[in-house]
Amino acid sequence: MLIIPAIDLIDGKCVRLEQGDYSKVKKYDCDPVKVAKKFKKQGTKLIHIIDLAGAKNGKPKNFKKIAQIADETGLDIQTGGGIRTYKQAEKILNYGIRRIILGTSAFINPKMVRSLINTFGADRIIVSVDAKDGIIMTNGWIKKSSQSIEDALNRLRDTGLEIIIFTDVKQDGMLKGININNVKKVLGKGFKVIVAGGVTSTEDIKQLDKLGAYGCIIGKALYEGQVKLASPNNLAKRIIPCLDIKNSRVVKGKKFINLKDAGDPVELAKYYSEMGADELVFLDIMATVENRETLYELVSKISANINIPFTVGGGIKSLEDIRTLLACGADKVSIGSYAVKNPDFIKKAAEQFGSQCLVISIDPKKINNKWKIFIKGGRQNTNIDAIKFATKMAQMGAGELLVNSLDRDGMKTGYDIELLKAICSAVNIPVIASSGAGRKEDFLKVFKNTNVDAALAASLFHYGEIKIPELKQYLLKNNVTIRI
Amino acid sequence: MIQIIDYGAGNIKSVQNALTQLGVSSKIVSSGKELDINCKTIFPGVGAAGSAMQTLKERGFLWKIPKIKAPFLGICLGMQLLMDYSAENNTKCLGIIDGKVRKLQKTVKIPQIGWNKIDQLTPQNLLFKDIPDQSYFYFVNSYFVDADSNSIGSTDYGIVFTSVINKINFYGVQFHPEKSGTIGLKLLNNFCKLC
């Protein structure tokens, strides 16, 4: 969902009103260009600028300032306020402003909306549906129209319009949160809906996202620091095939038993790299001393053949083990049981090699409503609280957490969303979701509902049940940031 | 022939593997004495700024790197060390390019690990030849370059930072081209073809 910071302008300056009341003006950081730059620095791509003086007077009054913001920041801008004629709209759009917002004029003159859409495309025209008690408000929210929301939407549908802004006038500028029942009236009516008015907390944002809103506009709450632009960035969510290695072959079994042979690791690694895997994880499930040399050989071979990052895990017990694996070309090492027994080891390893190469793999299982850490391939309960342990690992210098779930492993019923949510909110390092994926919907769900950075799966990919390119296209289509 | 600077901490093997895949021969250079100032150079960096600068000094690289006349590519920490100063261990760096290295803000997960986009500020730069704007590359970093100028590519991770830099023959990339799949190899190949 888009989170769009708002700038309202009167006389070239930033203001916020309460419930659209022009007598309740609050002025903020005066130069809107500065404010826009600040939003840009926080990662915004798109800002919402309303020419309040224009809205009230029925013709644009602050276009120069808006053009200046566009020129100086290079940001995408959606702007409205006083755009009543085709000519005014044309001028703004031809200037290169991304989208214009029509309010009053759209309801008086739907024909104009249609011809603008025909010329500039539906992606550049927004109609703002501003309502108070279910009735459309116009002329800078001063005038009550005779149209209900329902009537208005029906009339707009014929114009080819795709994007609307729904403003709940009563909530706007009140910092009291959104009125979900009002928002629900406009969702699911065939428009992409951007919600404005009362978006005050991250809870509001989450709720709107869940309801399927296309975006939300944040004004006062942002200026007053109640909401921060949620660490927006372009970092792609990673899809990671995991290859369990035994005697230099790839295996994967249900709940760690009944291992099946699923192929040659080097060939598989190359294949996955070409398919668009973002990273690979190799776990040596034998991890015996005798096995070490073969593992090193294998890692060197993999490193020579692929150039995407890969992690190697299994039986790491010393700084020397880590050093050798990194020297063979591994980018990261994954440490499980040994970190549980020797948390200080992680600190030493982080000091020596840096956090970026340390992935801590944990195997939680729910016992009496608490997640406990298990070791020895899931056979032994340590009674350590998984969330606390995750926090501790982050403090010790872990670079990433690979979170398995003994309740979900091999079950194909989806990732353990609750567990992952709990871990993500406890740490500020990247989290890799593991265990339980069965369908592509499971990947979407874990990315939409939790703050994980990557999702890992094994047999699903090895047996071709899900093809990575198709999975990535599917996620991309559903607005997950994905590298294609 | 490309010389790869080895100061004992960088993951030079991945870079060497990538060059091998491109059919470019390379040699490892472990001291300033061996460094040829007329040879194309790649400087891969992993680890912390403080100890890296210390080792560069001990191995006699410090005074010689700025004298290099051939194209030079710093990767990750190797890019950061080209700047004046790094907030990591409060370190004075090589000072070849103007600007500072700062820590990422706590509003994002640290380290940044994963694939992020490059916004090409000067797409005509030969390093970007045949690389589409907004392509993804693989990043691993907790610090970023805040350049005064010379920025030719930027990336958004909580804040917009310089991810590709170029001053005369010195280039730097914050990401790991050797770990960035085909597109990364293309960028390395572009570097290898610079004259």
Chain A residue numbers with beta carbons less than 8 Å from the beta carbon of B116 are 233-236
A70: tokens are 């566009």
Task: List chain A residues with pLDDT less than 70.
Answer: 29, 43, 225-233, 252-262, 288-290
CB A432 within 8 A of CB A452: yes
DSSP bridge partners of B44: B75
What's the rounded Cα separation, in Å, for the pair A277 and A127?
41
Report pLDDT digits (tens) over A348-400. Answer: 999 888 889 999 999 999 999 899 999 988 889 999 999 999 999 999 999 99
A97: tokens are 């402003």
For the domain made up of A238-477, give the CATH fold.
TIM Barrel (3.20.20)
**Number of Cβ atoms within 10 Å of the Cβ of B67:** 10
Q: What is the pLDDT of residue A229?
A: 65
Asked if A308's CB is within 8 angstroms of B180's CB, the reply is: yes
The bridge status of strand A358-367 relative to strand A400-403 is parallel
**Number of Cβ atoms within 10 Å of the Cβ of B28:** 13
Instruction: Let me know if B157 is exposed, middle or buried by CB neighbors in 10 A (0-12, 13-18, 19+).
Output: buried
Q: Do domains A2-223 and A238-477 have the same CATH topology?
A: yes
What's the rounded Cα separation, in Å, for the pair A219 and A17?
10
CATH class of segment(s) A2-223: alpha beta
The bridge status of strand A99-102 relative to strand A125-132 is parallel
Element (H, E) at A396: helix A386-396
Q: How far apart are the first and last CA of chain A?
A: 20
Query: B2-193 maps to which CATH number?
Result: 3.40.50.880
- Best A356, A360, A402, A484 member to test B by mutation, with max B CBs in 10 Å, is A356
Phi, psi values for residue A356, rounded to 5°: -60, -20
What's the rounded Cα separation, in Å, for the pair B174 and B75?
6
Q: What is the pLDDT of residue B173?
A: 98
Asked if B109's CB is within 8 angstroms of A429's CB, the reply is: yes
Chain B residue numbers with beta carbons less than 8 Å from the beta carbon of A41 are 159-160
**Average pLDDT estimate for B77-81:** 96
What's the rounded Cα separation, in Å, for the pair A166 and A183?
8
A264: helix, strand or coil: coil
CB B27 within 8 A of CB B4: yes
ipTM of the complex: 0.93
In this structure, of A217-231, A344-358, B41-55, B112-126, the range with the lowest mean pLDDT score is: A217-231
Asked if A273's CB is within 8 angstroms of B142's CB, the reply is: no
Q: What is the pLDDT of residue A259?
A: 40
Choose the closest CB to A329 out of B13, B138, B140: B13
What's the rounded Cα separation, in Å, for the pair A53 and A74?
24
Closest residue on chain B to A355 (Cα): B111
Domain residue extents for chain B: 2-193
Phi, psi values for residue A273, rounded to 5°: -60, -45
What's the rounded Cα separation, in Å, for the pair B39 and B59?
18
Report pLDDT digits (tens) over B127-182. Answer: 999 999 999 999 999 999 999 799 999 998 877 899 999 999 999 999 999 999 99
DSSP bridge partners of B45: B76
Q: What is the pLDDT of residue A29?
A: 61
Choose the closest CB to B181 out of A307, A327, A429: A307
Q: What is the pLDDT of residue B195?
A: 72
CB A48 within 8 A of CB A5: yes
Domain residue extents for chain A: 2-223, 238-477
What's the rounded Cα separation, in Å, for the pair A276 and A239?
9
CA A119 from chain centre, in angstroms, equals 33
Task: Please tell me if residue A244 touches chain B, with a CB cutoff of 8 Å.
Answer: no
CB A177 within 8 A of CB A204: yes
Q: What is the pLDDT of residue A381?
A: 94
DSSP bridge partners of B75: B44, B173
Task: Please tell me if residue B66 touches chain A, with a CB cutoff of 8 Å.
Answer: no
| Residue type for position A397 | G
